[in-house]
Amino acid sequence: MTDQNLAKPDLRLWQIFLIFLRLGLTSFGGPVAHIGYFREEFVLRRRWLSDATYGDLVALCQFAPGPASSQVGMGIGMSLGGLAGAFVAWLGFTMPSAIVLAALGLGLSAADLAATGPVIWGLKLVAVGVVAHALVGMARSLCPDVPRAILALIAAALMIAINSVGMQAIVIIGGAFAGFVFLRGDHGKVEGSLGAGLSPKGAICALGLFVLLLIGLPLLANIVPSPWLAVFDGFYRSGALVFGGGHVVLPLLQEAVVAPGWVDLDVFLAGYGATQAVPGPIFTFAAYLGAVLQNGAGGIWGASVALIAIFLPAFLLVIGLLPFWDRVRHMPKMRAGLAGINAAVVGLLASVLYDPIWTGTIHDVKDVVIVALAFVVLQWRVMPVWALVLAGGAGGAVMGVLGFAGAIA
């Protein structure tokens, strides 16, 4: 699919919000699965983005610190409705899981999460199918020739062998270098804009504010003895310094709230377990932690402050980097480098599909059959992805009643 063949939507903010709200209610499986859900919605179903443009956005968000899938969502929202579009996209995608986890932290939900095990099992298997389907589609579009396919395989092998943030950066930078050297030629003209309505001055201001808060908040927190300021600083740094997103943020959050004695370790681990049972971004774990803080800044306001603080760096980085990235991706001489980066991203996603998604979810032949069925349903467009998610949860519940549900890693 090329950019020239795409529909040009004219959306109101509430429409963007509702689209992302549905995604926030149905997107189980972690950051890579979310990228698959977004591709199904905006590239395949609505045809608002091409695979090349979507790949460029994913590449940027994989390279930048913060929650990659949430940043992809913000970037899509920005391309549809500017800054306000990015905000309502984040709000819709984040709100469902944030409300559930904050309520759990406040003690408003007494549900036994163990009882939902079969449902979560079914949802996780569907998520594996979604990721696999997205990966195959992106590989066909972004690795259409032998050099790019080889580049993706090398990237996947490196990430599987040495799974680290440093290797991820090496893979992406190496992809750009390989693109410049080996992928010379016409890689198509890019139409459309990802940084809608953003000026370079505004982008520079956002990046400046990102750095100012990162440096200034710890200094201010040491001068002003406010528990609220300390909470904002701790969660902001956790969101600003994490590369890779997802579960990688866990040690940073533990250092921010368990080390100073704000949250007991058992309470921390219980909330982390609950986070695995809800859709949407893993960073909404901050809402739970903010609600259970024991430093005088907990409750509903603590949940709100923690949630805003941990996502604010991602928002500032999207605002600051997207306009410049958009200019780069429109330069004909840069397309070869971006083609290499996109191929490397395909390899990176393939490595994550293998480990931890496949190794942590697939335990027997029954699991493989269900994943294959989900893949076929998506490949043949039997039902939309949200309906498949509901079917996966319902099927898991039925299998649990019959005693056939598998284990949850």
Q: Output the DSSP codes for 163-177.
A: -SHHHHHHHHHHHHH
DSSP class per residue in 372-399: HHHHHHHHTTSS-HHHHHHHHHHHHHHH
Does residue 407 fall inside a structural domain?
Answer: no
Q: What is the pLDDT of residue 376?
A: 94
In terms of residues, how long is the chain? 409
Whether residues 360 and 306 share a domain: the answer is no
Greatest Cα pair distance in the chain = 61
Contact 192, 3 (CB under 8 A): yes
213 and 306 co-located in one domain: yes
Distance CA 330, CA 334 (A): 8
pTM, whole model, 2 decimals? 0.81
Last residue of a domain, one of 283, 312, 341: 312
In a domain, 284, yes or no: yes
Q: Note whether 177 and 210 are same-domain residues.
A: no
Q: Going by C-beta distance under 8 Å and a sequence separation of 6 or more, which residues neighbour residue 280?
A: 24, 25, 27, 93, 94, 96, 97, 98
What's the CA gap between 325 and 60, in Å, rounded? 8
> For residue 307, is it within any domain?
yes
Distance in angstroms (rounded) separating the CA atoms of residues 205 and 202: 5
Task: Provide the residue-wise pLDDT of the chain in tens; the chain has 409 residues.
Answer: 555 555 557 889 999 999 999 999 998 878 888 999 999 999 999 989 988 889 889 988 888 888 989 999 999 999 999 899 999 999 999 999 999 999 988 885 444 455 567 877 888 888 888 888 888 988 988 899 999 999 999 999 999 999 776 788 888 889 989 998 888 765 555 656 676 667 889 999 999 999 999 999 999 999 998 999 999 999 999 999 887 666 667 778 988 998 899 998 878 877 876 787 788 998 999 999 999 998 888 899 999 999 999 999 999 999 999 988 888 887 776 888 888 988 998 898 898 889 877 988 898 999 999 999 999 998 898 888 778 888 888 898 898 888 877 665 5
Residue 116: its H or E element: none
Residues 205 and 288 in one domain: yes
Is residue 395 in a domain? yes
306 and 333 together in one domain: no
Q: Which DSSP string do the residues of 238-274 spell out, in sequence order?
A: HHHS-SS-GGGGHHHHHHHHTTTTSS-HHHHHHHHHH
The total number of structural domains that make up the chain = 2
- The number of beta carbons lying within 10 Å of the beta carbon of residue 4 is 10
Does 321 lie in the same domain as 275? no
Q: Let me know whether 390 and 300 are in one domain.
A: no
Cβ neighbours, 10 Å, residue 214: 17
Asked whether residue 190 is assigned to any structural domain, the reply reads: no
Residue 288 · residue 271 · CB < 8 Å: yes
Alpha carbons 292 and 165: distance in angstroms, whole number: 30
Residue 192 lies in a domain: no
Tokens encoding 381: 């467009």
Task: Specify whether 51 is located in the same domain as 71.
Answer: yes
Residue 86 lies in a domain: yes
Q: Are residues 23 and 88 in the same domain?
A: yes
Nearest partner of 248 among 317, 310, 291, judged by Cα: 310
The angle subtended at Cα 370 by Cα 369 and Cα 371, nearest 5°, is 90
Give dist(CA 377, CA 388) in Å, integer: 8
- How far apart are the C-alpha atoms of 263 and 292, rounded to whole Å? 7
Chosen domain end from 312, 330, 358? 312
Task: Examine the domain organization and report whether 166 and 85 are in the same domain.
Answer: yes
Out of 253, 280, 312, a domain closes at 312
Residue 124 lies in a domain: yes
Domain that holds residue 332: 10-184+317-402
Domain match, 44 and 155 both? yes
Residues 6+ apart with CB under 8 A from 123: 28, 29, 389, 392, 393, 396
Q: What per-residue confidence (pLDDT) applies to 407? A: 61
User: Could you tell me if 15 and 115 lie in one domain?
Assistant: yes
